[in-house]
Amino acid sequence: MDLKAILFDVDGTISETEEAHRAAFNETFRAEGLDWHWDRDIYRRLLSVAGGRERIRFFLDTERPHLPGPKKDAPDDWIARLHQDKTRRFGDKVSGGALTLRSGVERLIREARDDGLRLAIATTTSRVNVDTLLASSMARDAAGSFEVFATGECSQNKKPDPGVYLWALDQLALPPEACIAIEDSVNGLHAAQGAGIPTVIATCPYTDGDDFTGAVAVVDRLGEPDRPFRIINGDARNKTWVDVELLRHWHSPNAGDA
Ligand code: XBP
Ligand code: MG
C-alpha cells in the first residue's frame, strides 16, 4: 500500500523539548519545598518512563519511598497537582520562545503536505503543550497541516503502549501499512511498532546510542540541504536529508500487497 500519512512524535522529534521539561520539573519541586533535583543523568534514566505524572510517581516509588504525611497517603492527587504546576511552567518557557524546531521538521511537513500526504501528531505529552509548542515555534501554515492530534489525553496508557498510535490511525481511518512514524525514542519506536507502523528514528541527545532495532532507518536529524543528517542505520540512497522521496523508499518494504 502506498504511503498516505506521516505521524510525528513531539518531544525530542519536532523539538528538543526535554531540557525545558526537566527545568520545569525541577522548578516545580523547588517551589513545593522538595529536595528533588533531576540532573541530566537522572532524567535520562527517568525518560524510560513516558508521561510526566507517571515519571514523578516512578521517582517517588523508587527513590523517595519514605515521603511522609498526606503526600504518601494520597500520592495521585498530589502528583496531579505537581504535574499541573510543571505543565504551566513548561508552557511559560515554550511560549516565551525557549524552543525551536529540530532541523528539517518544518521543511518535511510542507513537502509532505504539498505531496498530498496527511499529517498527524502522536505524542505522550498533553495537548496544551503541543498547541503551545506549535504556536510559538512553527509557521501557522505548517502547524495547520496537522489533521489529527493524538496526545497524552487520548490513550489510557503511555508509550511504549501503542494506544496513542492506534487512536491516531482510527482518527485517520487508515491502516498502519499506509503510514510511517517519525520518533526519537525507544518507547516511541515500540509504541509505533505495536500499532504496526513502520518507524524512522531521528535521535536526540537523550536517546542517542539507544537500541532502535526494528526501525526502518535511524538518523541523527531529519536534516536540511545545508545541514546533512548522519545515517546511523538504513539505506540513505545517497541523500543527506530526509525528504518525502526517501520516506517513501523507507516505507516501501513495509507496504503490504497492493
Ligand atoms: C515524551 C514524554 C513526555 C515528556 C514530558 O513524549 O514522555 O512525558 O517527557 O511531557 P513524546 P509531560 O511521546 O512526545 O516523546 O510532562 O506532558 O508528559
Ligand atoms: Mg519523543
Which parts of 171-222 are beta strand (E)? 179-183, 199-202, 217-219
For residues 115 and 239, membership in a common domain is answered with: yes
Give the pLDDT mean for 84-97. Answer: 96
For residues 161 and 240, membership in a common domain is answered with: yes
C-beta 50 within 6 A of ligand 1: yes
Give residue 204 CA to ligand 2 midpoint distance, Å: 9
For residues 116 and 187, membership in a common domain is answered with: yes
Question: So which residues are the catalytic ones?
Answer: 9, 11
For residues 229 and 180, membership in a common domain is answered with: yes
For residues 128 and 228, membership in a common domain is answered with: yes
C-beta 160 within 6 A of ligand 1: no
For residues 112 and 84, membership in a common domain is answered with: no
For residues 136 and 203, membership in a common domain is answered with: yes
For residues 32 and 47, membership in a common domain is answered with: yes
For residues 80 and 152, membership in a common domain is answered with: no
For residues 120 and 152, membership in a common domain is answered with: yes
- Rounded to two decimals, the pTM is 0.95
Q: Is pLDDT at 258 greater than 70 in this prediction?
A: no
Determine the structural domain holding residue 238 and report its residue range.
Answer: 5-16+99-255
Ligand nearest to the backbone CA of 82: 1
The pLDDT tens digits of the residues spanning 96-150 come to 988 999 999 999 999 999 999 999 999 999 999 999 999 999 999 899 999 999 9
| Residue 122 half-sphere exposure toward CB, CA atoms < 13 A | 38
Q: Angle formed by the axes of helices 18-31 and 52-63, to 10°?
A: 60
β-pairing, 217-219 vs 231-233, is antiparallel
For residues 12 and 25, membership in a common domain is answered with: no
C-beta 91 within 6 A of ligand 1: no
The pLDDT tens digits of the residues spanning 6-19 come to 999 999 999 999 99
51's grid cell: 508521561
Angle made by CA atoms 238, 233, 115, in degrees to the nearest 5: 55
136's grid cell: 510559538
For residues 128 and 203, membership in a common domain is answered with: yes
